[in-house]
A = this chain, B = another copy of it.
Amino acid sequence: MPDFFADKHLFHNPVEFALSKIGGSYKMPILWRLKDKAWRYSALASSIPHISDRMLSKSLKELLNDGFISKEIFPEVPPRTEYNITERGKKAVIIITALRNYGLDLMKDFGIAQE
């Protein structure tokens, strides 16, 4: 696996590429919540620990641009916005689930309590 360019950025392996798309502190938490139902912006904001509007907005926009989620705006009063997962996003959820289970195993392995 040689280096390759994508999005004007150099990558050294497929894992780097994958994490450039769904990595960072918030994209997986967002996709994880969208996996089985639509969420509103404000619901995501209050559900994800410590996220700022800036990071939520930024993450949603990138996931949208990369086709992992879709957005629907309902012209009500007040207006309502809903985010949904796409087919591409569903594939991401599979690997997020695997990573999450691995993380849980590792925590047990390291003797870290969880609830």
Count of residues in A whose CB is under 8 Å from the partner chain:
42
A37 within 8 A of B: no
A91 within 8 A of B: yes
Q: Are B4 and A100 in contact (CB under 8 A)?
A: no
Report copies per complex. Answer: 2
Q: Are B103 and A18 in contact (CB under 8 A)?
A: yes
A36 within 8 A of B: no
* Prevailing SS type, chain A contact patch: helix
Q: Are B13 and A100 in contact (CB under 8 A)?
A: yes
> Given the known A-B contacts A4-B113, A112-B6, are A14 and B95 also in contact in the complex, defined by CB atoms under 8 Å?
no
> Given the known A-B contacts A88-B109, A99-B95, are A15 and B28 also in contact in the complex, defined by CB atoms under 8 Å?
yes
Which listed residue, B28, B95, B104, B107, touches A102 by the CB 8 Å rule? B95
Return A99 CB to nearest CB of chain B, in Å. 5
